[in-house]
Structure 1
Amino acid sequence: MTTFLLNREPISLTDTDPDMTVLEYLRQDAGLTGTKEGCASGDCGACTVVVGENTPDGLRYRSLNSCITFVHSLNGKQVLTVEHLVRNGELHPVQDALVRHHGSQCGFCTPGFVMSLFALYHSEAPPQREAVLSALSGNLCRCTGYRPIIDAALEVLQQRHGDAFDLEREAIEAELGQMETSVLPNTPKADPSVGFWQPRTRQELAKTLESAPDARFSAGSTDLALEKTQSSRSLHGLIDLTRVEGLNSVIVDDTGIHIGAAVSYSDLEPALLADYPEAAEWLERLGSRPIRNRGTLGGNLGTASPIGDTPPLLIALGAEVTLASGHGERRIPVAELITGYRRTQLQAGEWIDTVHLPRRRPGSELRAYKISKRFEDDISTVCAVFYLEPDDERVAEIRAAFGGLAATPLWLPDWQASLVGQHWPSLDIEEAARRLADELAPIDDVRASARYRVRVTANLLKRFHLETTRTDQLSRVFNSGVAHHA
Structure 2
Amino acid sequence: MIRFILNNKTIKTSEHSGMTLLDFVRYEQRLTGTKIGCREGDCGACTVLVGTLNGNIIEYQSITSCISPLGNAHGKHIVTVEGTNLKDKLTTAQEAMKANYATQCGFCTPGFVVALTGFALSNSNKTYSKALDAISGNICRCTGYKSIEKAAYQVVKKLENQDKNSFKWLIDNGFIPEYFKGIPQRLKDIEAESLKQPKGKYVAGGTDLYVQQADNLIDNSVHLIQEKNFLKGIEINSGICSIGANATVTDLWNHSELNRYFPKLKKHLKLVSSEQIRNMASFGGNLVNASPIGDMTIFFLALNSDIIIVNPDGKERQLPLKEFYKDYKTYDLKDGELIKTISFKLPTTNSNFNFEKVCKRTHLDIASVNSAIHISIDHETIKEAHVSIGGVAAIPKYLHETSAFLKGKLLTSEIILKANEILQNEISPISDVRGSSDYKRLLARQLFFAHFTELFPKQFTLNDFVQHA
Fold shared per TM-score above 0.5: yes
Once the two structures are overlaid, the 10-residue window that deviates more, 31-40 or 126-135, is: 126-135
Q: Describe the SS at the equivalent of 2:37.
A: coil
Shift of 1:7: 1.0
Q: Does 1:226 align with 2:211?
A: yes
Q: Distance in 2 between matches of 1:107 and 1:386?
A: 44
**Aligned counterpart for 1:296 among listed residues 282, 285, 297:** 282
Among 252, 255, 269, the residue aligned to 2:253 = 269
Query: What is the CA distance between 1:280 and its match in structure 2?
Result: 2.4
Question: Match of 1:189?
Answer: none
Retained in 1: the 8 A contact 2:205–2:282? yes
1:436-455 equivalences in 2 (<5 Å): 436-455=423-442
Which residue pairs with 1:182 in the alignment? Answer: 193
Q: Does the Cα contact within 8 Å between 1:48 and 1:65 map onto a contact in 2?
A: yes
Tell me whether 1:417 sits opposite 2:404 in the alignment: yes
CA offset at residue 452 of structure 1?
0.7
Structure 2 counterpart of 1:282? 268
Instruction: Write the distance in 2 (CA, Å) between the matches of 1:90 and 1:401.
Output: 53
Which letter maps to 1:344? Answer: Y
Identity %: 32
C-alpha distance in 2 between matches for 1:288 and 1:301:
18
Q: Which runs of 5+ in 1 are unaligned?
A: 186-196, 198-207, 478-486
Q: Is the 8 A contact 2:74 2:195 kept in 1?
A: no
Aligned residue for 1:465?
Answer: 452
**Structure 2 residue 317 is matched with structure 1 residue 330:** yes
Q: Deviations along 1:320-353, whole A, 9 cap, x unmatched?
A: 1100121510111111112222222111221111
Q: Which residue of 1 aligns with 2:357?
A: 370
Structure 1 residue 232 displacement after superposition: 6.1
TM alignment of 1:9-20, pairs within 5 A: 9-14=9-14, 16-20=15-19
Instruction: Report the Cα offset of residue 184 of structure 1.
Output: 2.4
Question: C-alpha offsets along residues 116-143 of structure 1, whole Å, 9 cap, x if unaligned?
Answer: 1010111233343321221111000112
The total of aligned residue pairs comes to: 448
- Residue 216 of structure 1 is aligned with which of 201, 206, 215? 201
Q: In the alignment, residue 336 of structure 2 is paired with which amino acid? A: G
Match of 1:396 in 2: 383
Matched with 2:116 is 117
- In the TM superposition, residue 415 of structure 1 has moved relative to its aligned partner by 2.2
Give the residue type in structure 2 aligned to 1:13.
Answer: T
Go from structure 1 to structure 2 and tell me whether the alpha carbon gap of 1:328 and 1:24 turns closer, same or farther (over 3 Å shift).
Answer: same
The answer for the alignment partner of 1:248 in structure 2 is 232
Confirm whether residue 158 of structure 1 aligns to residue 157 of structure 2. yes
In structure 1, the residue matched to 2:5 is: 5
Q: Distance in 1 between matches of 2:460 and 2:418?
A: 20
Give the equivalent residue in structure 2 for 1:136: 135
CA contact (8 A) 1:254 1:359 kept: no
CA distance in 2 between partners of 1:235 and 1:401 (Å): 38
8 Å Cα contact 1:19-1:70 kept in structure 2: yes
* SS of structure 2 residue aligned to 1:182: coil
- One-letter code of the match for 2:225? L
- Aligned-residue Cα RMSD (Å) equals 2.0
Measure the CA separation in 1 of the matches of 2:451 and 2:43: 33
Does 406-415 or 387-396 show the bigger shift? 406-415
> Cα–Cα, structure 1 residues 457 and 283, in superposed 2: closer, same or farther, change >3 Å?
same
1:241 corresponds to which letter in structure 2? I
Deviates more, 1:18-27 or 1:421-430: 421-430
Q: Deviations over 1:26-83 (max 9, x none)?
A: 1111011111101000000111111111124711111110100111110001111111
In structure 2, the CA distance between the partners of 1:383 and 1:31, relative to structure 1 (3 Å rule), is same
Q: After superposition, give the CA deviation of every residue in 1:336-374 in whole Å (9 maximum; x if it has no partner).
A: 112222222111221111111212222211110011001
Compute the displacement of 1:438 (Å): 2.7
Q: Which runs of 5+ in 2 are unaligned?
A: 163-168, 464-469
2: distance between equivalents of 1:43 and 1:384? 23
Q: Larger deviation: 105-114 or 345-354?
A: 345-354
Residue deviations 1:204-262, cap 9 Å, x none? xxxx7xxx3xx111111000111344x66655121111221221222122241111111
> Over residues 154-178 of structure 1, what are the superposed CA-to-partner deviations in whole Å (9 max), with x where a residue is unaligned?
1112213433348545521111011
Local SS of the residue matching 1:421: coil
Give CA-to-partner distance per residue, 1:394-452, whole Å, 9 cap, x none: 01011101112222011222222222222104544333323322332111111111111
Give yes or no for contact 1:415–1:436 (8 Å, CA) kept in 2.
Answer: yes
C-alpha contact (below 8 Å) 1:85/1:91 kept by paired residues: no
Q: Does residue 387 of the first structure (1) align with residue 374 of the second (2)?
A: yes
Q: How has the CA–CA distance of structure 1 residues 445 and 398 changed in structure 2, closer, same or farther, with 3 Å as cutoff?
A: same
In the other structure, the counterpart of 2:24 is: 25
Q: Which amino acid aligns with 1:269?
A: W
